[in-house]
């Protein structure tokens, strides 16, 4: 099987989609909020933009680490959510 540049691009996009979904699910679980609310908060974050852009290869980091970082460094997004 020959791996083409197009295949790698598609795989990278798929990996980012799965990472987004994993972050949203973990965020919803940690904050005890609906997934839709977690998704809204996540996509308003700087982290989501960094992952989309591939900044610093941040998308290669562990989901738990990324959620911890999001909660610590973008706490303004969560000021109306009770952290449990």
* pLDDT tens figures, 10-43: 988 888 899 999 999 999 999 999 999 999 999 9
pLDDT at residue 72 in the model:
97
Whole-angstrom CA distances from 8 to 55, 61, 77 are 18, 19, 33
Between CA 24 and CA 38 the distance in angstroms is 6
Decide: 35 and 28 in contact? Cβ < 8 Å: yes
Taking the model in full, what pTM does it have?
Answer: 0.85
Nearest to 66 by CA among 82, 42, 34: 42
pLDDT at 81: 87
């Amino acid at each position: 099987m020959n791996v083409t540049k197009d295949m790698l691009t598609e795989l990278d996009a798929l990996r980012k989609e799965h990472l987004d979904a994993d972050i949203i699910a973990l965020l919803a679980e940690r904050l005890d909020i609906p997934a839709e609310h977690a998704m809204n908060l996540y996509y308003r974050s700087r982290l989501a933009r960094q992952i989309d852009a591939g900044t610093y290869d941040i998308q290669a980091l562990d989901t738990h680490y990324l959620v911890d970082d999001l909660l610590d460094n973008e706490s303004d997004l969560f000021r109306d959510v009770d952290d449990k």
